[in-house]
Amino acid sequence: MKAGPGRHGLKTHRRVGGSSAAVGIAAMVLAVLGSNTPALAAGGDLLSTCMFCAAEAPAPSGAGASESPALLRSVAMGLEMGLSSNVAGVAGIVSTLGPGAIAGKPFGSQAQVLAKLSLLGSPDFVEPVARARSIHELSVTASCATGVQVVVSEETASDVVSTGDTVRWLARLRSERPTGEPEQVYEVGLRVQKVERQRTTLLVCRPVAPGKEGTSSIQASVGFALSILRGKRLYDASLAALAETHANEGKDRPTGKLVGLLDKLEWDHMKTGGTSYGCSLDVAGAVTLGDHVAVGAAVHNLVGFMEWDGTTHIKGIINTDTVVMDEQGYVSYAPTMSGTQFTDNVRYDFTRTLEIGLAACVRGTQADMRLHYDGSRVRPEARVRLGPLRRALIVEAGCSGTEGMSQGPLWSLAVSRSDGQCAFAIVTDALDPSRARSLSLRVQVGLHF
């Protein structure tokens, strides 16, 4: 299970319009929220495959016929689900939103997201940015030979990012009675993004400059992972505004006022006449240092983009003083909105990342250390792998730097069979499930030929 770079972060190129005041608010708020769209898992672990390939010594010359490569060696089906948030714990989100939250489908329309944030947020929320992310991936992996894989997957990623003021404003609207404290202006910023796409990845690693028989020459390998992408759905809505609340005569809850800019993109393969396509290319290399140590490096998204042609684009100014919240936490309002709707082509560029790895194997125990750099920060990762143990089981435990939404490092535990018939992995930021703010599960079953 991967939990970091190797995932496709996206950056968007879009035009900005509207009044100068609204644009100024949007620039200020969106600068805080950032411009990345949902991250989706990359196909396969290219660097690990390259390091393993480098360590695999070829058959010595004249040692007899080697095993002929099979056309298809194994087939595996995997399901991954992940949920992260710094607004509330995973247990609280699931209890509020239902089991669909961990199944990868917790976020819907912009109004529904407002409701969910209002239910989960607290007036005492102190973080400058609130985040929630859900990832769902169903994949089939076919291994054709050592170092050759084909991965076909369908992925869904949902992201909600807002300013801390957005959470506090919604919590203030939810309060049963207005306080006597003077009202303040809230810098509301909300970005809701959902991407559904299909991906086909070809991963190839091959040894180069093999060592000679009876020598300790360095062995090396190089590889690449090429992904072809096809979009299914895109939803990307941004709201940047100034808001406040005021007492509502005859009612327990206050009424909100909101003035700002709405910018929304929508694309659906069932409704939109345009096409959506993209690709990404990862490259990697590894060398062995002696018999038990290998080092390597990989560049993810050396080339990477996704186009959404014929996207419906709505831009406008929202001005309303009728925002109210009911007992279930759902927001309703009757806005006065002026703006435009047009068709546009949208391009997302994948964030390029660098991964450096070191692996050592001693007496059946393998230690693996990684550094991931995405241009803004370095995220460390370390894993220890034991096995095969009894019943051909392999156990792997690891720890990695925070993904930005959890409150601490991420801990991982994976158990699998050495023949690849089944595997289970969990990644979380807390050993106590009731306190976890980040949780990811992966289950895999397969056949080995």
Each residue of 367-398: b (16+ CB within 10 Å) or e?
ebbbbbebeeeebebebebebeeeeeebebeb
pLDDT of residue 159: 84
Asked whether the beta carbons of 205 and 53 are under 8 A apart, the reply is yes
Bridge partner list, 149: 143, 203
Q: Could you list the pLDDT tens digit for every one of the 449 residues in the chain?
A: 333 333 344 444 443 333 334 334 434 444 444 444 444 434 458 888 888 887 764 533 333 334 444 577 889 999 998 888 888 888 777 777 666 655 555 455 545 555 565 567 777 788 888 888 888 899 999 988 777 899 999 998 888 888 888 888 888 777 765 555 566 788 888 888 889 999 999 999 988 865 555 455 678 999 999 999 999 999 998 989 998 887 766 566 777 888 889 899 999 988 877 899 999 999 999 998 887 899 999 999 999 999 999 999 999 998 887 777 666 666 666 667 778 999 989 999 999 999 999 999 887 788 999 999 998 889 999 999 987 887 788 999 999 987 555 557 899 999 998 877 899 999 998 877 778 888 889 999 988 77
Asked whether the beta carbons of 395 and 386 are under 8 A apart, the reply is yes
| C-beta atoms surrounding 431 within 10 Å | 9
Residue 225's Cα: distance from chain center in Å? 18
Prior bond to 388 cis, omega within 30? yes
Q: What single DSSP character describes residue 3?
A: -
Asked whether the beta carbons of 180 and 103 are under 8 A apart, the reply is no
Q: Alpha helix (H) ranges present in 121-177?
A: 164-174
CA dihedral 332, 336, 341, 345 (to 10 degrees): -60
pLDDT of residue 64: 37
Residue 347's Cα: distance from chain center in Å? 18
Q: How far apart, in whole angstroms, are the C-alpha atoms of residue 299 and residue 291?
A: 25
Tell me the three state secondary structure of residue 383: strand
Asked whether the beta carbons of 379 and 400 are under 8 A apart, the reply is yes
Residue 432: partners with Cβ closer than 8 Å, 6 or more residues away: none
Asked whether the beta carbons of 255 and 248 are under 8 A apart, the reply is yes
Residue 290's Cα: distance from chain center in Å? 36
